[in-house]
């Protein structure tokens, strides 16, 4: 189970890197060609989120969820391993006299 999740995690990491690198910079819109801040009055202060932003957000959410799941699973494995290697010994019971 953990192996499959790790493979999916690596795949999502690569997708996230590609998605971030494919996004255009802030200065590559039409306002930079028309003189910077002057065109903000004409076209509005900000552009709506495009498809690439939504895809990147979705991949980032998957990355976060997988990170949390893997962290919880590795914590459980470490705790189980510690408990197996160092069992808790009960104090001896004294007889009733």
pLDDT tens column, 47-75:
556 888 899 999 999 999 999 999 998 87
Q: What is the mean pLDDT of residues 70-97?
A: 72
What's the angle, vertex CA 31, arms to CA 42 and CA 15, rounded to 5? 125
Determine, yes or no, domain membership for 96: no
Determine, yes or no, domain membership for 33: no
The domain in which residue 18 lies consists of 1-23+51-83
Token digits of residue 97: 């006299």
**What's the pLDDT score for residue 40?**
53
Number of domains in the chain: 1
* Whole-structure pTM value: 0.60
* Tokens 């019971």, located at residue: 93
17 contacts: CB under 8 Å, gap ≥ 6? none
Determine, yes or no, domain membership for 37: no
Q: What is the mean pLDDT of residues 5-14?
A: 96
């Amino acid at each position: 189970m953990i192996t499959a999740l790790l493979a999916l995690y690596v795949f999502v990491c690569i997708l996230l890197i590609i998605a971030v690198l494919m996004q255009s910079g802030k200065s590559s819109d039409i306002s930079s060609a028309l003189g910077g801040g002057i065109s903000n009055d004409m076209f509005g202060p900000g552009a709506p989120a495009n498809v690439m932003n939504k895809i990147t957000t979705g991949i980032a959410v998957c990355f976060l969820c997988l990170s949390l799941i893997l962290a919880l699973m590795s914590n459980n494995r470490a705790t189980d391993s510690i408990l197996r290697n160092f069992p808790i010994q009960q104090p001896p019971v004294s007889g009733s006299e």
